[in-house]
Structure 1
């Protein structure tokens, strides 16, 4: 009796192991599983766009198969491409893309596995690189609007993948480097240097023109200011002279003899101020009236 019981336990254990191996499967949190029935996909376990459901799961029938795909972002790396920009400059562009399996059912139907997906996506990536980068100048690719270009490439690849129903989504595209071929580098650098020199010359010319304008305006302001100052000084001098003449006239009218004497003294002072003045005059000249001993 005890021996029969032991045999039953062993049989149950074997049947349990067989059941577990054929009916149960585990899914890692980094994976999403696709259940196949007679080769046809019927259900997705732990898809990336739903709440995580990793752990132990059971199949409905033992003849169902389980195919697992990565739930994480995947890398699409293509060889460096030679691109001709819109200004006819050639560039060697090294780029890569990151994508994820957004629809495992469609992914399995379209490409079966990651290798098949990359074989389909690589031509899309290369074509989008050539189309987008071929429509802009080399300066924009090397150091200009690279971020906008990468977004445009990503959208172009996404569009082609959606039209082909690959069940993937391109997350982003990155350009590692965009270099000139060695044979073209020196020529392009010389041209860029020439363009920078032309731009610098234009800036200097504009600065010199502006400086001339400022100097001319300053000179005009100085001339106007001096003219106004001379005009005002002339007016003040004329008013002073008129006032002086009025004072002289008033003094003359009060004492003509003293006024004549004062004016003669002023004339003597101005004529003989340095002490070396030589004058040839007649002794009876009116200039020396007040030097004589008697009055006329």
Structure 2
């Protein structure tokens, strides 16, 4: 009898422990919990913006608890080929961050994160294709990336709000937007050809401007040189006139001295050391050598 009683106590204890374990559950601060009773949602614990983390009770065996992450969740898209407005195809790699702000609606629409990824993949594809199809490939690749991501995020948020998925879109980012390898080289060659043509046009314009500047500079230099020569000739003429006037005045004052001075200058220029001169004794060139007082009359 005592053994049967002991066995019964053990069974009751084990059963109580099982019932107690099925009646208790914990929710940490990083989670929200959706309570299901016979498969129907009846309550949400620790929603976004609430603080209900800790130990909680539920009806054993008939109540199920589903946990959802309250943190930001990242969904990374696979690279997709998308056609831009200029018919060029681009390989676009993007990702999205979202947060479950309504676990009940999230469960009703997509069930779990796997279902959410499938729905978000479709929404991201539609939004990316719709936005990129309105923009030339060059703008997608080299510029306007921030504005492009803002437009994609707005399109994704609009679809998420329309479908009421119980999530909040935090961020949308485009990691890479490049031409496919099969056509990248062709497009590169075309872009290089366009840049070379543009550079050739700029160089031709620069050469034309340089020629015009050189021609104008040469013309200005010729004018300056002509004016300088004219001014030099004028100054030289004025100097010669002034010199001749001085010579004339000096000659008129003492003609004999002037003749003597002119002869001395001629002797200095003509007679050098070791220079033989053959000339008659009565030559007028040496008339001052025959006069004791320097008189050119020979007396």
Residue 247 of structure 2 is matched in structure 1 by 248
Residue 134 of structure 1 is matched in structure 2 by 133
* Closer/same/farther in 2, CA of residues 156 and 237 from structure 1, 3 Å limit: same
Shift of residue 125, structure 1, vs aligned partner: 1.0
Residue 42 of structure 1 is matched in structure 2 by 43
Any idea what the Cα deviations from partners look like across 1:235-274, whole Å, max 9, x if unmatched? 4323322321231132022023444565688799999xxx
In 2: Cα distance, 1:214 partner to 1:138 partner: 41
Q: Is the 8 A contact 2:34 2:41 kept in 1?
A: no
Shift of residue 153, structure 1, vs aligned partner: 1.7
Any idea what the Cα deviations from partners look like across 1:39-61, whole Å, max 9, x if unmatched? 2353231x45556x5442334x5
Q: Is the 8 A contact 1:92 1:179 kept in 2?
A: yes
Q: Which moved more, 1:205-214 or 1:100-109?
A: 205-214
Q: What's the C-alpha RMSD, in Å, of the aligned pairs?
A: 4.0
Q: Is the 8 A contact 1:27 1:56 kept in 2?
A: yes
Residue 154 of structure 2 is matched in structure 1 by 155
Residues 192-211 of structure 1 correspond to what in structure 2 (within 5 A)?
Answer: 192-211=191-210
In 2: Cα distance, 1:169 partner to 1:238 partner: 98
In 2: Cα distance, 1:50 partner to 1:213 partner: 78
In 2: Cα distance, 1:176 partner to 1:68 partner: 34
Residue 179 of structure 1 is matched in structure 2 by 179
Task: Tell me the TM-score normalized by structure 1.
Answer: 0.72
Residue 168 of structure 1 is matched in structure 2 by 167
Q: Does 1:191 align with 2:190?
A: yes
Task: Tell me the TM-score normalized by structure 2.
Answer: 0.72
In 2: Cα distance, 1:147 partner to 1:219 partner: 53
- Structure 2 residue matching 1:86: 3-state secondary structure: coil
Shift of residue 35, structure 1, vs aligned partner: 3.0
Shift of residue 75, structure 1, vs aligned partner: 3.8
* Closer/same/farther in 2, CA of residues 264 and 50 from structure 1, 3 Å limit: farther
- Structure 2 residue matching 1:82: 3-state secondary structure: strand
Residues 195-274 of structure 1 correspond to what in structure 2 (within 5 A)?
Answer: 195-216=194-215, 218-259=217-258
Residues 59-70 of structure 1 correspond to what in structure 2 (within 5 A)?
Answer: 59=58, 64-70=63-69
Unaligned runs of 5+ in 2: 276-282, 291-295
Q: Is the 8 A contact 2:149 2:173 kept in 1?
A: yes
Residue 120 of structure 1 is matched in structure 2 by 119
Q: Is the 8 A contact 1:91 1:179 kept in 2?
A: yes
Shift of residue 109, structure 1, vs aligned partner: 3.0
Q: Report the number of matched residues.
A: 277
Shift of residue 107, structure 1, vs aligned partner: 1.8
Q: Which moved more, 1:3-12 or 1:139-148?
A: 3-12
Residues 10-159 of structure 1 correspond to what in structure 2 (within 5 A)?
Answer: 11=12, 14-15=15-16, 17-22=18-23, 24-36=24-36, 39-45=40-46, 47-49=47-49, 54-59=53-58, 64-159=63-158
